[in-house]
Amino acid sequence: MLDLTNIFRCQKLVQSPVCQLIRYFHKEPIPVTWKKPRIGWTKLNFDGSCKSLSGKASIGGVVRNHNADFMLGYAESIGQANSTIAELKALRRGMELVLENGWNNDIWLEGDAKTLVEIIVKRRQVRCMEVQRHISHINSILPEFNNCFVSHIYREGNRAADKFAQMGHHLDHPRIWRDPPDEVLAQLLEDAQGKIVLRRKGL
């Protein structure tokens, strides 16, 4: 069901800054929009955030139904971690919360880390033991759902989850929201309305 990334063999070209700038502005932007799940499905958008200078990371996510109604949001500071671990922990925590709330029928999992999505979908093995441990745990949770769909979306379509992840940096303890916080109301409304955000190719 997933349209996974095609792998291209690229050759590095040396170009002048002016030429690169002209090519950049001639690229057509990509329209990105968050999509509602089917009737009866639950959708989890997740994201991890990592501060490059401090190395501190946080996670966040949001759960919505087929009407784009807010069901649950979560955020948490997880200490020192890289972006891959943060993304995995965000997905894992979101799945656990979905199950804890009894929404285990049909689930759509969506994040903006394309490589991570491909690892989960293709059940690839990775060399890092910590990463593999999280992936194995996620794979053990997946059978708990009747149906599961995993997809990648550009970050422009994952803004609500990103906002929760950013909020996690400022939390001393994990937090769960049953009602949407003011900080994400704008993103939730735009998602529900199907707002299209243009993404410049190459970003």
Whole-number pLDDT of residue 7: 30
Contact present, 45 and 110 (Cβ < 8 Å): yes
d(CA 107, CA 87): 18
Whole-number pLDDT of residue 200: 81
Going by the DSSP 8-state scheme, the letter that residue 178 receives in this structure is S
Whole-number pLDDT of residue 56: 96
d(CA 99, CA 120): 18
Is beta strand 41-50 parallel, antiparallel or unpaired with respect to 147-152? unpaired
Name the band, by pLDDT with cuts 50, 70 and 90, for residue 67.
Answer: very high
List of domains in the chain: 32-193 (3.30.420.10)
* Residues 165-191: tens digit of each pLDDT: 999 999 999 999 999 999 999 999 999
* Residues 9-59: tens digit of each pLDDT: 333 333 445 445 445 455 789 999 999 999 999 999 999 999 988 889 999
**Against a cut of 0.75, is the pTM above it?**
yes
Helix, strand or coil for residue 27?
Answer: coil
d(CA 126, CA 119): 8
Sheet holding 147-152, edge to edge: 147-152, 106-111, 41-50, 56-64, 70-80, 175-177
The count of other CB atoms within 10 Å of the CB of residue 195 is 15
The mean pLDDT value for 62-84 works out to 97
61 phi, psi to nearest 5 deg: -175, 170
Helix, strand and coil content of the chain, in percent to the nearest 5, comes to 35, 25, 35
The tokens for 112 are 């903006």
Whole-number pLDDT of residue 203: 58
Whole-number pLDDT of residue 125: 82
Name the band, by pLDDT with cuts 50, 70 and 90, for residue 202.
Answer: low
d(CA 161, CA 184): 9
* Residues 89-148: tens digit of each pLDDT: 999 999 999 999 999 899 999 999 999 999 988 888 888 899 999 999 999 999 999 999
Going by the DSSP 8-state scheme, the letter that residue 199 receives in this structure is E
